[in-house]
Amino acid sequence: MFTASLHILLLSSILTTQETAAMVAGNVSGSVDPNGFCYCTVSYPDLTFPVDRVEQLEMLSVSLSTTVERELIKIQEFASKLSIHENRMQNLTFRVETMENDVVSYSELDFELLKLEIRQMESLTNKMKATVADSNGIIEQLSTELKNMTLAITKLEKFDKNNVLAIRREVVALKKRLERCQEIRNQTNPTQPPIVYGSCNHGLVSNISEPFVVQLNWRGFPYKAGAWGRDPAPVPPKKDLYWQAPLGDGRFMDYYRQYGSFDDLLLYKNPKDYQLGSGHLAQGSGMVMYKNNLYYNLRDSRNIRKVDIDTNGIVLTKELPGAAFNNRFSYSGTPWQDIDLAVDESGLWAIYATEESTGNIVISKLNETTLSVEKTWVTGQYKPAASNAFIVCGVLYATKTITTRQEEIFYMYDTKTNQDTKISIPFKKVMEYLHGINYNPPDHKLYVYNDGYLITYDLSFYPKNTNS
Ligand SMILES: *[C@@H]1O[C@H](CO)[C@@H](O)[C@H](O)[C@H]1NC(C)=O
Ligand SMILES: *[C@@H]1O[C@H](CO)[C@@H](O)[C@H](O)[C@H]1NC(C)=O
Ligand SMILES: *[C@@H]1O[C@H](CO)[C@@H](O)[C@H](O)[C@H]1NC(C)=O
Ligand SMILES: *[C@@H]1O[C@H](CO)[C@@H](O)[C@H](O)[C@H]1NC(C)=O
Ligand SMILES: *[C@@H]1O[C@H](CO)[C@@H](O)[C@H](O)[C@H]1NC(C)=O
Ligand SMILES: *[C@@H]1O[C@H](CO)[C@@H](O)[C@H](O)[C@H]1NC(C)=O
């Protein structure tokens, strides 16, 4: 006799251990009959194998696992989308914060970009809401934050519209108007030609610079009166000619000096000194040098003397008709300058006064060859009330003293229109009295003898045809 046992194993990932135990087969017993045949009785436990159920379960398992895989993939997608979302959210938050903290540096473009990104993220969030069950409310939170951010941006933009962006737009509009204005100006009023030195393609004197101190005159501090300048038209081979004429006792000039260049003048190098001599002294600080000749008021007379400065020889002496002399009508603060000679773009002039003009300034254009008067203008300005005068492009400018350090161009007379005008162009001086003022057309400078100091000023002019 023997015992056999049968085990049935069902392997399924989805069956429980209890079910497995219930399926184990039961006991077998055997016996032998008289003929020697062996009988075995197999007794099974009372159960029927549920093949159909197993099949069902197996199918369910497969479908379940595919579902789970699908769900897993969805969850992975969701997770990666979520991390992208979170990054963008952080980026946006950072940018909104930056904008909130820094009011000035953002532009309209920044707003537009942010708004666009937020709109993109909103549509993405809505798609995710539709496809994935929002088990722990992350998407809902994202959505709320997005709405929050949109609000913040709108607020920011509204706040800014009143300030930076509004101002920016105004600036842009102003620029456009300016351009339009310029276009119109370009069409109607062609740009002014540049001012050509030595010519009169410009308007009236508009301003005068700070004084530029060149040096003390070569004879020293006691020589407070005198004149100096630069020949506007040096005669070749001379390229340049600077001259100084200090008055010995505030009245007469005996010695005068020339330099061939500004550098020589500054370094006291290669001077040429000449003496006029006792019978030929110049009186007052009204002398001028022009085309290699020195013009001056001969002492104790109304004569004008012309001297060739290469030979120191007298070229011509000529009376200036009616001119007052010997300190009758000099300038205030600078005695003995009854006859003030001047040079402008058109040549030689005399500024003086007569008894007939009752001491008012008289202007005469002189022929430099003959020293005869070509034309005369009588102004309305009393000469002793002015401190000095010079002529630019046929216009006389007179100065007066404001303080010991301030002077003013206060009066002008235009010989082309016979009109005089009160003006006010104040300027500084280093010492109290301006003795000789000589205008030099080629460099638009005034050469001023200021109590022994040689100083210069630069003149500025209005453009042509605008005198305001
Ligand atoms: C088989 O059955 C006999 C009697 O029916 C019992 O005595 C024996 O213990 C059983 N064996 C097993 C392995 O269950
Ligand atoms: C935000 O994103 C933009 C464009 O995607 C990138 O240029 C910028 O550096 C990011 N800023 C931060 C703080 O991550
Ligand atoms: C929305 O923004 C406000 C302040 O800007 C903040 O207090 C609040 O917590 C934000 N809400 C969310 C959901 O981010
Ligand atoms: C006007 O003319 C000036 C000088 O020629 C030029 O520089 C400028 O661009 C012009 N402006 C316009 C708006 O045409
Ligand atoms: C005139 O010149 C003076 C001295 O250089 C300067 O201070 C002043 O601003 C100028 N005035 C004008 C209207 O240009
Ligand atoms: C100056 O006078 C001379 C001689 O009379 C004459 O030839 C010359 O043309 C005059 N000059 C001017 C600028 O009138």
Q: Ligand 1 centre from 32 Cα, in Å?
A: 17
Tens digit of each residue's pLDDT (9 = 90 or more) over 434-465:
999 999 999 999 999 999 999 999 999 998 87
pLDDT of 192 reads: 61
Show the ligand 4 pocket: residues with CB < 6 angstroms: 179, 182-183, 186, 191
**138-143 long-range Cβ contacts below 8 angstroms, 24+ apart:** 138/82, 142/85, 142/89
187: CA distance to ligand 4 center in Å? 10
Q: What is the dihedral of CA 329, 334, 335, 338, to 10 degrees?
A: -40
Among 142-151, 269-278, 429-438, the least confident range: 142-151
Instruction: Quickly name the fold that domain 204-461 has.
Output: Tachylectin-2; Chain A (2.115.10)
Which of 181, 186, 188, 189 for mutating ligand 4's site (highest number of atoms within 8 Å of CB)? Answer: 186
Please tell me whether the overall predicted TM-score, pTM, comes out greater than 0.75 for this model: no
3-state secondary structure the chain: CCCCCCCCCCCCCCCCHHHHHHCCCCCEEEEECCCCCEEEEECCCCCCCCHHHHHHHHHHHHHHHHHHHHHHHHHHHHHHHHHHHHHHHHHHHHHHHHHHHCCCCCCHHHHHHHHHHHHHHHHHHHHHHHHCCCCCCHHHHHHHHHHHHHHHHHHHHHHHHCCHHHHHHHHHHHHHHHHHHHHHHHHHCCCCCCCCCCCCCCCCEEEECCCEEEEECCCCCCCCCEEEEECCCCCCCCCCCEEEEECCCCCEECEEEEECCHHHHHHCCCCEEEECCHHHCEECCCCEEECCEEEEEECCCCEEEEEECCCCEEEEEEECCCECCCCCCCECCECCCCCEEEEECCEEEEEEEECCCCCEEEEEEECCCCCCEEEEEEEEEEHHHCCEEEEECCEEEEEEECCCCEEEEEEEEECCCCEEEEEEEEEECCCCCEEEEEEEHHHCEEEEEECCEEEEEEEEECCCCCCC
Do residues 353 and 321 touch, judged by C-beta distance below 8 A? no
Q: What is the mean pLDDT of the chain?
A: 81
Ligand 6 pocket test, candidate residues 369, 371, 373, most atoms within 8 A of CB: 369
Q: What pLDDT score was predicted for residue 226?
A: 97
- CA–CA distance from 336 to each of 61, 77, 182, 371, 463 (Å)? 130, 107, 53, 21, 37
Q: Is the CB of 91 under 6 A from ligand 2?
A: yes
Q: Is the CB of 368 under 6 A from ligand 3?
A: no
Residue 323's CB is within 10 A of a number of other CB atoms, namely 24
Ligand nearest to C-alpha 177: 4
**Residue matched to tokens 């897993």:** 72
Among protein residues, the one with the nearest Cα to ligand 6's atom 13 is 367
pLDDT tens digits for range 238-290: 999 999 999 999 999 999 999 999 999 988 889 999 999 999 999 999 999 99
Question: If you measure from the C-alpha of residue 238 to the centroid of ligand 2, how many angstroms do you get, rounded to a whole number?
Answer: 73
Spell out the domain ranges in the chain.
67-158, 163-194, 204-461
Residue with CA at minimum distance from ligand 6 atom 6 = 369
pLDDT reported for residue 94 = 80
Most confident of 14-23, 132-141, 385-394: 385-394
Pocket perturbation via mutation, ligand 1, pick of 3, 29, 31 by most ligand atoms within 8 A of CB:
29
Q: Which ligand is nearest to the CA of 374?
A: 6
- Expressed in angstroms and rounded, the spacing between residue 202 Cα and the centre of ligand 4 is 21
Ligand 5 neighbour 210 (Cβ under 6 A) = yes
Confidence at residue 52, expressed as pLDDT on a 0 to 100 scale: 54
Q: Give the atom of ligand 4 at the shortest distance from the alpha carbon of 182.
A: 13
Closest C-alpha to ligand 5, atom 3? 209
Find the residues whose C-beta lies inside 6 A of ligand 6.
Answer: 367, 369-370
What tens digit of pLDDT does each residue of 327-374 get?
Answer: 999 999 999 999 999 999 999 999 999 999 999 999 999 999 999 999
Q: Report the nearest-CA residue for atom 4 of ligand 5.
A: 209
